Amino acid sequence: MRTASIAAAISLVSWALCSEQRLLSDARSDSSVRFGASIGSSKGNPPAYRDALLELHKALIDIESISGNENAVGDFLAGYLSDRGYTVDLQAVASSKGRPDRPERFNILAWHGRGRHSPRVVVSSHIDVVPPHIPYGIEDGPVDESTMIRGRGSVDAKGSVAAMVLALDELLHRDKAIRDEDVMLLFVVGEEVGGEGMRTFSDSLARMDQPPSFGAVIFGEPTENKLACGHKGGLFCEMTAKGVPGHSGYPWLGKSANELMVRALAKILDADLGSSELFGNTTFNIGRFDGGVAGNVIPEHALVKMAARVAVGPEKTGSNLVRSKIEAILNDVDPDAFHLDCTHGYGSVECSCDVAGIPTPPCPRGGGENVLTVLSGFDTIVVNYGTDIPNLAGDHRRYLYGPGNILVAHGARENLTVGDLETAVEGYKKLILHALKE
């Protein structure tokens, strides 16, 4: 890595932040927010990339890409990157039935320049979203850091995708701090429904005679622009109970599958399913409960779809501990009535969050006092949701970072601010530079 180039880039970033320090406008109440169809004009002294960042973010949100229907947004993003000098590969995902040159579903792999490299760092996020599609909207009036943007994927995770692309462009072109062969972009499908896109990429590496030995992968998810030290694991199962049907007036002549399930669920909710200092307690969610056919019939069948957020490791087998505790409870309630079928699971996932920072020169007199803090490290966080990190095998370092708050993701009011996106661009730049130095 060219140390002089990195130092020059850091100096430029520091100067830009010093020159842009100003007070944010007062927060506006949610009831005053109105959303128009266009981005509008910027005010103040925005970063040079603001328009490009907001235009890309808007274009990505405008294209509906609910899991399983990612083609349109993938086509757009592949074309966008190709027009900006990237070599783009479309990697067919396992269930594809399309033409070899146009798979039905595909990941996007992109390298800057006209060649395929063995990157030192991979920068990755996902292009699928949860339903329903929510159109793009941006708050009326001139745009500044506090301007609010909404729409499905604005946070999870098209905000990360847009910020990653602009961050890499800045490092390649404006800062000239890295080389084409240093970094690869990877945007995958299916993260929201099991991670088939990332698993396809991981499997493709395993089949290579000489797979690339990248040192780090930066994953984009909403972390409030804090660097995540890890996230809980997961266990995703379907529990069924079988009883004996009969007339509800004579319950002793039957065996209620619903009653058995309720007794088991109460025990599971009260049980210690595992905990750790970093991730807290394992939690258990009853996502769906179906049982019986009528109010006056003893139910013969009951079904529960559940998800546990696993707070214990190791990553590959930590969920097995939770599963064994659930199975023991089911056996205690009724050893013959229950069946537990789990689709997948993994233990708690640890990430690198010891980015001490890159030394920056002090601001000139009159500059913002907090610029050194902004560039010298990240606030950290631990999150409870799942990511594609465990779906990618390898010994690389893992970083998890991105704009927006998970508490609004997947909801009807998914939103973030322009400032969130711009902070993410600078954060991804810093992470890329840090990863290349390791």
Domain boundaries defined on the chain: 49-230+349-436, 233-346
pLDDT at site 356: 66
Q: Which of 188, 149, 183 is nearest to 169 (CA)?
A: 183
> Helix H segments across 243-286?
257-270
Tokens encoding 286: 């009853």
Going by pLDDT thresholds of 50, 70 and 90, the confidence category of residue 1 is very low
How many other CB atoms are there within 10 angstroms of residue 428's CB atom? 27
- Identify the CATH class of 233-346: alpha beta
Unique residue bearing structure tokens 């290579």: 208
pLDDT at site 4: 40
pLDDT at site 357: 54
Apex 405 CA angle, 399 and 411, nearest 5: 125
Q: Which long-range contacts (CB under 8 A, 24 or more apart) does 45-48 make?
A: 45/19, 45/20, 46/20, 46/143, 46/144, 46/422, 47/16, 47/20, 47/422, 47/425, 48/174
pLDDT at site 367: 35
pLDDT at site 38: 55
Quick: pLDDT tens for 147-169: 999 999 999 999 999 999 999 99
Which residue among the candidates 70, 139, 145, 191 is catalytic per the annotation?
191
The yes/no answer on whether domain 49-230+349-436 falls in CATH 3.40.630.10 is yes
> Do 310 and 347 touch, CB atoms closer than 8 A?
yes
Q: What predicted TM-score, i.e. pTM, was given to this entire model?
A: 0.84
191 is catalytic: yes
**Average of per-residue pLDDT values in the chain:** 87
pLDDT for 91 beyond 60: yes
pLDDT at site 370: 34
pLDDT for 137 beyond 70: yes
